[in-house]
Amino acid sequence: MGALTGKVAWVTGAGSGIGQAAAIALAKEGATIVLTGRRKEPLQDTAATIKKAGGKADVKPGDLMKAAAVTKIAKDIEKKYGRCDILVNNAGLNILDRQWAKLTPAGAEEVIDGNLSSAFYCTSAVLPMMRKQKDGVLIHTSSMAGRNISLLSGPAYTAAKHGVVAMSHTINMEECVNGIRSSVVLPGEVATPILDKRPVPITAAERKRMAQSEDVGDLIRYVAMVPAHIVINEVWITPTWNRGYVASLNRGKG
């Protein structure tokens, strides 16, 4: 029996990358996983992997940038399982035309809705269930762009991920009296499909040196399993070969 047996975990952005890795890691600990993302087929692939290993998974596709869609999924979870113990708020996106010189209002809206609004919608949807339980863990995937301001990720993504960090801390400030804990995970560069949206392509060799989805998924598993009297408020996870650090070192040699 796993440490999370009997728990229900809702994982967003679960069709690939960090979300998929987190879903598989939580399932191995016995949690029943509800998988959400915009595309059904990748979610089904994740579910198949979980079930092949003896786990339990339920596919609930939906556009998390739409509050009504989020509310419907949360109601379905409550109706079927009667609870939601863990929310992994992982859905996110970025765009190629991210610099101010190219960024359009539509592009900014897509990035902010995909990374910040969706996280707010999912959080608001599960908190009532968690208050009833007097227990619950929310784990939000932010980014090092949520703490460090640079041009790499673009202003919309950077602002949205800063918002996710702030959101998580406010949950603890209000909901700690209800036994609810909120953690924000800030990965550095991770070899996930979102890298394909970088204006400057990332090589295969560079991706191998980055953190991998499974590394972050295992961290999320750990955060979900800490004792109820403990909250890991914020945690960074970055590759040892940090390209930003290496670039600074090389400039210092010039």
Cβ-in-10-Å burial (0-12, 13-18, 19+) of 135 comes to middle
Determine the CATH number of domain 8-252.
Answer: 3.40.50.720
Strands 234-237 and 180-187: parallel
pTM: 0.94
Q: pLDDT tens digit string along 70-121? A: 999 999 999 999 999 999 999 999 999 999 999 999 999 999 999 999 999 9
- Sign for the CA dihedral angle at 223, 116, 19, 58 comes to positive
Q: Among this protein's residues, is 157 annotated catalytic?
A: yes
Q: For position 13, what pLDDT does the model report?
A: 97
State the residue for tokens 């924000």.
Answer: 184
pLDDT tens-digit readout, 43-74: 999 999 999 999 999 999 999 999 999 999 99
Active-site residue (options: 81, 121, 157, 222)? 157
Residues 6+ apart with CB under 8 A from 68: none
Task: Give just the sign of the alpha carbon dihedral 155, 161, 163, 169.
Answer: negative
